[in-house]
Amino acid sequence: MKRTQALIDMIVFPGGYTKAFTMSYDDGTVHDRRFVELLNRYRIKGTFNLNSGIFGLQRKGVGPNTDLDISVIQEEEVRTLYEGHEIAGHGSVHASPTDVGTPAFMFETIEDKEKLEEVTGKMVRGYAYPFGAFNEDVKKILKLAGYHYARVVDTTGKFDIPQDFLEWRGTAHHNDPKLMELAEEFCRNDFFGFRKKLFYVWGHSYEFEGDGTWDKIEAFLKFMDEHREGIWFASNIEIVDYVNAYRSLEYSADGNMIYNPTAIPVTFARYRKNYTVQPGETLYL
């Protein structure tokens, strides 16, 4: 078939949503209790990156704030506290992936995965790099261990879906002075290009306590809730699984036969019309 305009298919998220929002919080400290309560109040999904080797550890201080309680939550509360959110790996005892040697890192990783799966009763397939430290070997080990994504520390200030989920840069840390500006830009109903799709915020809940910013984060979550129309609120792994399924679609040379080899129904938009390809089926346009 002779084509007269550029063929550009755009990912459409489950439920027909054109954008996705997700949050990622590290270290599983006691302040997650208050933070999860806020997420639940404003119907927002998060991913929590836990260190399963130090559940229950009592400790204080981070940076100049030596009085701040950064104790780790108890193992017994993990299942109920994080219900409805994703649990992901963050290393058994938060060792730096690039600074402990490969065997120790492999052990840190797989021991953490096994423990988190035992505690949650669910597969753990996501990860955040402790200290944001990674290299090619580290990425390879995570992939072999069954992790499908890993979040880094630096951010993009953009709404791109990453090409490589094992180097997942979020949009912003919650302390980014532009956070509300980004939220407003993301929630505006302007036309969103095919790459401007994903708003990703990360941090540590103890920062709200240490910096006195609980009000600020609550205002942000409330804003996102009030502008939820058209946005898929998802955990990190839900986004990864869906994007990977979208990327697995197989196309005929003319682009009009589309095969979905995955187990997930996948929706895309072509010339502003939505199409869904069912698992194992071929769509003929």
Q: Binding residues for Zn ion, per CB under 5 A? A: 26-27, 130
Beta bridge partners of 270: 9, 273
Closer to Zn ion by Cβ: residue 27 or 207: 27
Count the Cβ atoms, other than its own, within 10 Å of residue 13: 21
Closer to Zn ion by Cβ: residue 112 or 241: 112
Q: How far is the CB of 206 from Zn ion (least distance, A)?
A: 10
Q: How far is the CB of 63 from Zn ion (least distance, A)?
A: 13
Alpha-carbon separation of residue 260 from 132, 223, 227, 266, 269 (angstroms):
34, 36, 32, 7, 15
Q: How far is the CB of 31 from Zn ion (least distance, A)?
A: 13
Q: How far is the CB of 130 from Zn ion (least distance, A)?
A: 5
Closer to Zn ion by Cβ: residue 89 or 162: 89
Which amino acid, residue 172? A
User: What's the token pair of residue 44?
Assistant: 């927002």
Closer to Zn ion by Cβ: residue 32 or 241: 32
Q: How far is the CB of 266 from Zn ion (least distance, A)?
A: 33
Closer to Zn ion by Cβ: residue 28 or 162: 28
Closer to Zn ion by Cβ: residue 93 or 249: 93
The closest residue (CB) to Zn ion is 26
Q: How far is the CB of 66 from Zn ion (least distance, A)?
A: 18
